[in-house]
A and B are shown apart, each in its own frame.
Chain A
């Protein structure tokens, strides 16, 4: 039985190693500055902890194979071993912890750089809306309860009386220029949603009643998928949108077209 158990553990180990080295599914292409850093951090953690996983199982197999020789005193305990192990594992875990933690704080410092154009993201069951402030650079006041009419082209409830809101652009996809920090302001109209853009390695909950600012910097052109990753109700799985990273010129053109469309709508 001992041999069978050891064989089983080795088989499982081999299967897991194969799975994680063959990597039939792995990170999607990273398309933001943060992605490279996060992937790198993950790789470190992956190799360190993966190594511990393999080592742990090999030790387990070895221990199961060990025969006691008659008369030999088996190991009953020992503070020396205990302390060595504890110190070693503490060092490894805290080294990982410290090496990884600057990343998250870094993401938050980016958002403090003012003057960047912000994009407001609103989650509503089961739709994402992206609002650009338009030519005047300011968002119009919104009140979802008073003015929201999704079927009349005002899903966010922009106050018609507010001049700042006249030129606001509401889009169902996120279009951003390459190479510039994108500052998002996340809001939610009804329940908690979570904006997840795998290619940007970006995720942030959109919480009703809160106004959460965060940012990332896309650095690869292309179209990426956006999903909701916080259970928000029956249509959670179909709450998705697209993100396009374009050149600066293309972005200006797109913005101009949108503005024209808004202006026409006004008339």
Chain B
């Protein structure tokens, strides 16, 4: 029933119509007929995974964390106003985020990847941690060894700003290495002033600092502060001190109910930059889970950015309780384990409060309010893969790809018409239908066109041409053997069929396997190639055939064929 000319024409027109309709509706929605990939229009592609370096989480736990992160990140991005963002779980424990046309990468990365765990903790007096400080020193010396601490100390003296290098030295240290000297009891060292005096005379200044670091690695960095419950340290020592505190053995000697946490940014006092280290309760008395709303404003009086928050009813009651009991004490507000601010409680605070952000600009405050509203990620995420294409490169790629594609098409048209004459014109008509079908197919499947995708498209055009060439060559052969035009055409299509089917199916197999096992750009290639092969199959065997039937309709058996 599909072989009468009228049915053929109706079917082909219907297919073209569908393609055109899909392309048109895509154009209405997004301004372009097919969705362009990030490599063509610019944007950011992120692959995230649960950050679990110790491997303590089971696959189910990670999978669950990714599920919940997917919702939260989507909420955050929705507020950002990116058009058609993609937030998608792939496999068991990965999340893909695609943001088209993002111009501020760092901000986007922050919004997506920030855990945004908000906590309120009580600040404790430093006296509660004094006894533990010497234990911390000993634990550091025992873990890292005095020699490597000396090396770190020298590196700091030589180039104090290069804290990277210091961290390098620290990371390179073999944790299993036995300390070169037996752990030194700091109490005896303090008494042993004579030895220190001798050292001062003998050693150069760098060596002295190194020796100091080897004896009291942590406490030698600490300075007293005017604020309650906080130490200060020079900002250049911050990376070193933080890496000391990250050593598990050090965490083990801290009192069970206490944690030491840094301020999130340096503070300038008298022309030098310092970092505050707070003595805090280990457990927060309230967390971001009880937050209901957050918004950013600017404090006119002190000209600083503020995030105002609103707690749930239960949270408000709890917050009121704690603040009521601690008027005059300090409370620290932590974001992802860094202290954002540590105000003194002046009066009992209920469900409404605010977080002072200091000198941050308003955008930072707005973003913070945004991530707080969307909620915290259930676990910290790590960026496994990131691809960012600036908008100008994308535009270049489109222009160049379009031009190359068009010229390639023109070449095909010229070759086909030069070689096959009128039949070549029929082939070109069929190929136009083919291009329409492929674009329509991409639009219908809502597939994105990437750069490798364009290449796959051009390759499948090659296959479509090949199918036509196979048929036409066969018709010529049949004509050369003296068959009548109509028989030759029938035989030509019939005999070319098996080669076309086999060739297309094997390529389709490869394309499907590429789709199954490929990611990102390879997938785009596989999609266009698959659509292209199916379209080429249809055009070569159905459209070209129908055009031939129309062409031959008025001819008599003895007429010649322009081929």
A complexed with B = no
Binding site for A on B (CB under 8 A): none
